[in-house]
Chains A and B, each alone.
Chain A
Amino acid sequence: MRNVFFTHGTRNEQFLQQGLVEEYIKMFGMDVLYIPRQLTQKDGVFNEEVSSEFDDSYLIEAYLENAEGFQGGGDLLTKFGIRQTDEITMVISQQRFSDLISQFLLLDTDVELGERPQEGDLIWFPLAGNYFEIKFVEHEEPFYQLGKNYTYKLKCELFEYSDEQGEIFIGDEELVDTGYTIKYYFLTSAGVSAIGVPTLLNGGISSPVLTEEGKNYNFTPTVTVNGDGTGAEVRADMITVSLSGSTPLRNAVLKPTTKEGKLIALEIVDGGEGYDVARTGISFSNPPFGGLSPVAKPTFDSNGTLIGAEITNQGKGYTSVSKLVVEKPGSGYTTASFTIQPVSPGRTGDFKIGESVTGGSTGNQAVLADWDAKEGWLKLKAPTGDFLINEILMGSDTGSQVTINSFDPIDSTDDKYYDNVEFELEADDILDFTESNPFGIAT
C-alpha cells in the first residue's frame, strides 16, 4: 500500500498542469484546422472504408514537434508519379479537444469516435497549406504525470486523396483539379430560332422558304406543320447535300442526318441514274464560320446510279438550318404555317459552387465544383453517371438551369498523371479495331 501522507497529483495540481500545457501550446503552437472524417459507408468483408466525407472543420491550437523539417521520406519519384511522403507530429491538449471539438462530434452519428481524435481524421497544416491524415494518436506521452495525461500526440502523414467528397474539398480549387471524377461540360449559349414559311400548291405544302436559318442549334429541330389540311410532313436539314461534277439522267436524292453539328449518316433515298462515275463527287453546303465541311466518298453501279456514300470525315459546326424539305405535301390546306423547334435558351440564373445539379432526362446527379459563365463551362464533381448533350441541368439550391452543348472527354480531368487520352489518340492511328475499340474512350 502506498504512503497516504504524500499526494501523487491532486485534482488541483492536475488542473494546474493542464493549464500550463495549454498555455505553452497557445504561446508556441499554431492554429490548425481539425477536419473529422465522417465514415458514411464501411465494407464489412474487407474491413475498409467505402466512402468518407469531410464536411466540417474546427480551429484548434497545436504544437508542432518537428523543428527542423518534416519527418518521412520527402518527395519521391515512383512509378506512380511523384509521391510526397512528409510526416509531422502535432501535440494538442486533451482538455481543449474535449471543450472545442468533442462536444460537436458526439452529436454526429457518422463520426465513429467523438471523445478523442480519430485516426483517419485530417489536419489542415497552415504553413504548407496541405492536408495531413492522423495515422496514430499517442495519448501516453509524457507518461501519467501527476497521475494523468494532458496531451494527444497526433502522428500524421500527408493524406492520400481518392476523390473523397465533402464541403472541405469542394472549396479547394487545387484539389478539385487533381480529382478523378471531374467532368467538363460546355454550355449552350443563347441562339436564334429558325423561321420558315410554306407555299401552297394544289392544297399541299410546296417549296418552303427558310426566312431565318437560326443560330447555335446543337440538334436538328423538328418542324410541325400547322393549318387546316392534313398529312403534311416537313423536315429541317442542317446540311444540304448534292452530287456535283456531271449531269445525270435522273438526279439522286440524299437525306443527311446531323448530330451535334456533325454529319453522322447519309441515306440514299434515290440513287439517280447516269452519273459519270469518274467525275462525280458529293458536295455539302458550307458550315457557319469556324466549321468544317464533311467529306464523303460515293460509289456507283455500272448504270451510274449512286449505291453508296461513305462518310470519311464528319465535319463540324453545322448549327443552322440549311433548308426545309417536304417529305409529304399533305392535302386540303388553304392556310399553313410552320413551327420550328426553338433553340435552347442557354443558361438561366446563376449557379452556386457546391450545390448539387440534376440532369433533366438522365436523372444523374453531380456536385458543381466550378463554373464560368463567360467561357461557358461547368466542372462537375463526383457525377453518378454521364450527362447527355442537350440535357438540361438544374441546380438544387438556386434553381438555375443550363443546357449542355458538348462534353469533352479529353478534359475529363487535368490530373498531371493522366495519360489515358494520349494513348487513345496515338492508338487510333495504329490499332485496327474494325468494329470499335473495345478498350477505348471514343465510341
Chain B
Amino acid sequence: MLNTGYTYNKIIRKCVVAFGTMFNNIEVRKENPDGSTYQKMKVPLAYGPKQKFLARIEQQPDLNKKVAITLPRISFEVTGISYDGTRKLSPVTLNLKADGNNAVRKVYTPVPYNIEFSLSVLSKTNDEALEIMEQILPFFQPSYNVTIKLIEDLNEFRDVPIVLNGISYSDEYEGDFTQRKLTTIDFTFSMKTYLFGPSQTGAPIKKATVDYKMGVNRELAPRRVQYQVTPKAIADGDLDGTSALMADISKTITTLQVQDSSVFTIGESIEIGNEVMKVKTLPDATSITVIRGQNGTNKAEHLAGAPIDLINSADDALLDAGDDFGFNELTSFYG
C-alpha cells in the first residue's frame, strides 16, 4: 500500500509556526508631541481559526467582556494548499544523511507544495495599521526566505521562500454614525514548501569484497583471489584503560613501564593521552617498547598513572559514519 509505516513529519504545522514567528514581534508606539514615547504596545498574534468552545471558555470565562475587543491585533490562517509543478525534481532521487546511531537515513525527493496564507491586521486607527504594515512590507522583496528544519530525523533544513502576493487595505468609515468603523489590512502570502514522505534507515557499508578471476571464459574461469577491506580505528573509542603507565615518560622515551605487559600484543596500536603508539616488543613482564607518534599524532610527555587504551577490534566496531578511519585488508587466494 501507499504507506510503509506511520509517518507524520508535521511539515505544514512547522510552516504555520515559521510563518507566525515572523510576525510575533511587532510593536506599536505612540509618541508625545516632543517625540518621547508615550506608550509601547506589543501587537498580539494568533492563528485565526479556533475551536468555538475553547474560544468561548478562554476568552469569555465570565460570560461577559468589559469591552468589545482589544486592539490592535494580527491574525493569520491557511487558506489553501496547491501543488507547484515548476519546482518538481525527479522522484527517484534519494536524500541521504548520516544518522547518529551508526546508520544512514534516506528519504525520497519531496513533493513541492505552496501553502497560501492570509494575514489580517485589525486596528483602531489608520496610523496604527500603517505602523504595523510598514514593519512587515520591507522584508518581502517580494519574498523572504526562512530556513526551516522540515524533518527532524534527517536534520533536513530547507530554505522556504515566503512570497507576498497582495495587500488589501480597507477603512470603512462612511455611513451611519452607529456603524462601527473598521480599519483592516489583509495580506496574502504563498509559502513554497516541500512535503517529504517516510524516511528509512540503513546501516553504513562496513565491508567491501572484490573477487578476481583469470581468463576470458565467463562460465569456467574460477575465482582466484578475493580482496576484502573493513574499516580500522585509528584512535581509541571505548576508553578501555586496559593498563596504566607506571613511570613518567618524555617525548623520546620508547620503553614504557606498565603494570602487566601480557595484555599487549606486538604490532598492536595503543593510545596514551592523545598519542597513538605501536607496540614493538615485550622485553619483560612490566615493560614494553613502542614506536611513538603513530597515525599522525604528536609525541608528548605523559605522567605516571595515565591510562593506556588498546586500539583493537572493539574500537573498529564503534566506528561511526562521520569518523576518520583506516583499513583492515584481507586477501584470500584460491587454488
Give residues in A with beta carbon < 8 Å to B: 41, 43, 46, 48-51, 75, 77, 79-87, 119, 128-131, 135-136, 155, 157-163, 165, 172, 174-175, 178-181, 246-247, 249, 274-279, 300, 302-304, 382-385, 412-413, 415-421, 423-424, 426-427, 429-433, 437, 439-441
Contact = CB atoms under 8 A, between A and B. Distances in A.
Interface stretch (B52-60, B86-94, B277-285): B52-60
Max chain A Cβ within 10 angstroms of own Cβ: one of B58, B73, B149: B73
A129 B23 contact: no
B24 A424 contact: yes
Interface residues of B, number: 78
Interface string B48-77: 111010011011101011111111110101
Contacts of B66: 129-131, 161, 172, 174-175, 178
Nearest to B43: A180
B55 to A, nearest CB: 5
Contact of B17 (A75, A130, A275, A423): A423
5 contacts: A80-B69, A161-B66, A180-B43, A424-B21, A433-B147
B126 to A, nearest CB: 4
Given A412-B42, A439-B25, A79 B65 contact: no
A32 B1 CA distance: 70
B94 to A, nearest CB: 23
Nearest to B179: A135
Contacts of A421: 24
Interface stretch (B97-105, B208-216, B300-308, B327-335): B300-308
Given A51-B38, A159-B67, A302-B298, A276 B21 contact: no
Contacts of A87: 178
B41 A161 contact: no
B59 to A, nearest CB: 4
Given A50-B30, A423-B21, 17 more contacts: A80-B69, A84-B64, A84-B67, A84-B68, A85-B180, A119-B177, A162-B123, A174-B66, A302-B298, A383-B40, A384-B38, A413-B44, A420-B25, A420-B42, A431-B18, A432-B148, A437-B21
A426 B17 contact: yes
Nearest to A428: B21
B41 A180 contact: yes
B40 A430 contact: no
Nearest to A427: B21
Contacts of B307: 276, 279
B95 interface: no
Contacts of B235: 278
A156 to B, nearest CB: 9
A164 to B, nearest CB: 9
Contacts of B147: 431-433
Interface in B29-44: 30-33, 36-44
B239 interface: yes
Contacts of B178: 87, 135-136, 155, 157
B256 to A, nearest CB: 16
Nearest to A249: B301
A437 B23 CA distance: 12
A155 B180 CA distance: 12
B127 interface: yes
B316 interface: no
Given A384-B37, A431-B149, A158 B44 contact: no
Contact of B75 (A79, A129, A157, A441): A79
B24 A420 contact: yes
Contacts of B20: 419, 423, 427
B226 to A, nearest CB: 36
Given A82-B59, A430-B149, A441-B25, A158 B72 contact: no
A332 B32 CA distance: 58
